[in-house]
Chains A and B, each alone.
Chain A
């Protein structure tokens, strides 16, 4: 059992400090939503107030399904939408040497010169990969996130029809980064492995910031149907990708040694945690959501690894109002 991380939750002034209701637009068949109350005192954990998963196949743009989902959530909290992985593009770029207020325009120009299509039709966001303190001579990099403006406008319009008006649109990598950041110990680099129905994602964080992300397309159905020998080969592929990524981290960011891998609950227990624990020369631990969240109000979530796997992204996205301070 991993030791608990000592945390202090610091609230930011001028931002939403109450919590969030997060609706996850996944690529999978079951839209999911969570309501989370932000912790306000030291030693408290953010409290999960409600969790709902739309039963059976459906579309998260379906008005009735969305209304039903929101009916089970805390409507007093601001709404955050997490996008499906296919709905946006995430890429690492050199950070333009321009003032912050000109960063978006500069990024647009950089992307247009690289043949990324008509950039007037996309919305753009960015976040820095912080290396200026540890590697001041190294060229800075950042993550750029791109989304088709028309798609987002249409989706928001459909949601507005049923009274749902998101205040934030976020992505899966930052949601998983938030959870990994909450689990980090001082000075370490942490790898968080999470599996969904379409593949296995990895995020590598240090001091709460995202430094590297990887996604291996590996449909759950294929893994489920595989014979033991094939399943081992598939797990081996994931482990190899993980080791390569850790090697990249070691060479690119030597100040954040990744010595611990945390494996999130999977939709089905198909042996990934056991395989990694047995074959990696690293500490591999299962993710215990109780370390990060107070689940006393949602016993169904506390008892179901499958539901935890489904709600991992919205839970992580809801952590955006809390800042963990390592002691």
Chain B
């Protein structure tokens, strides 16, 4: 095996050393610059990410508050609807109670049993959209007249049928029905709304 051959370079100690030095300096500078640039990019990216996170958090908070408001409004609306339905349901009963009070006021003294039975039969009836404006018991409790208003004619027919079923044990029967458009509603709208006033006897 031959020894490696030596090659000389008279340039080595003049320019080459400087070249290597400069190359190292440049490499070091580039490394530092690259690190600084990369670090600043990373820092700006981190800041941007934090800003986006804060924005998203703010948007989420606003959305949550809007959702809470909407939920509250919906709850209020639901409660109002429920109240309205309840009022619709209770209104005929209130009408019946008022009619009962009127009947009691008009009744003959000491003869409460005669009209108590038809009144009791009537208080069990409940037809949504229908309310009574007058209830008259006469002929010793043998004759019953009902006056009222309803949102439509079908409600009146259902009420009449159920009233006859309730009065059947008392051997009483409502045979006549008079229907006419509700005067107040017709006058208010100027056209037919389906509301009717009725007279049952």
Contact = CB atoms under 8 A, between A and B. Distances in A.
A169 B2 contact: no
B14 A174 contact: no
A17 to B, nearest CB: 14
A30 B153 CA distance: 130
A113 B16 CA distance: 28
Contact of A167 (B4, B5, B11, B13): B11
A325 B2 contact: yes
Contacts of B14: 123, 149, 152-153, 156
Main secondary structure of the interface of B (DSSP, over half): loop
B191 interface: no
Contact of A127 (B6, B12, B15): B6
A171 B13 contact: no
A326 B2 CA distance: 8
Interface residues of A, number: 34
Nearest to B11: A169
Contact of A128 (B2, B6, B15, B16): B6
Contacts, number: 61
Interface string A18-51: 0000000000000000000000000000000000
Contacts of A171: 8, 10
Contacts of A128: 6
A149 B10 CA distance: 10
B6 A209 contact: yes
A208 B2 contact: yes
Interface in B12-26: 12-16
A126 B10 contact: no
A305 interface: no
A197 interface: no
A308 interface: no
A316 to B, nearest CB: 12
Interface string A165-199: 01111110010011001000000000000000000
Across the A-B interface, the 9 shortest Cβ-Cβ residue pairs: A207-B2, A127-B6, A125-B8, A169-B10, A208-B5, A169-B11, A168-B9, A320-B7, A125-B10
B13 A170 contact: no
